[in-house]
Amino acid sequence: MSAPRCRRLEGKVAVVTASTAGIGLGIVRRLAQEGARVVVSSRKAATVEETVAALRREGLEVAGTACHVGDKAALQRLIQFTLDTYGKIDILVSNAAVNPAAGPILSMEDSAIQKIVDINIVSAVLLAKLAVPHMPSGGSIVFVSSYTAFNPSPPIAMYAVSKTALLGLTKALAEELGPQQGIRVNCLAPGIVPTKFASALVASLELEELNKSRTLLGRLGTPGDMAAAVAFLASEDAAYITGEALVVAGGMQSRL
> CA nearest 143: which of 170, 182, 118?
170
* Distance of alpha carbon 56 from alpha carbon 177, whole angstroms: 34
Q: Report angle CA 197, 202, 204 to the nearest 5 degrees.
A: 140
Q: Report angle CA 187, 76, 86 to the nearest 5 degrees.
A: 80
Sign of CA dihedral 176, 178, 180, 181: positive
Alpha-carbon distances of 254 from 150, 202, 242, 245, rounded to whole Å? 6, 20, 20, 11
In contact, 151 and 254? CB cutoff 8 Å:
yes
Catalytic residue status for 86: no
Q: DSSP label at 121?
A: I
Is residue 173 classed as helix, strand or coil in its secondary structure?
helix
Residues with catalytic roles = 159
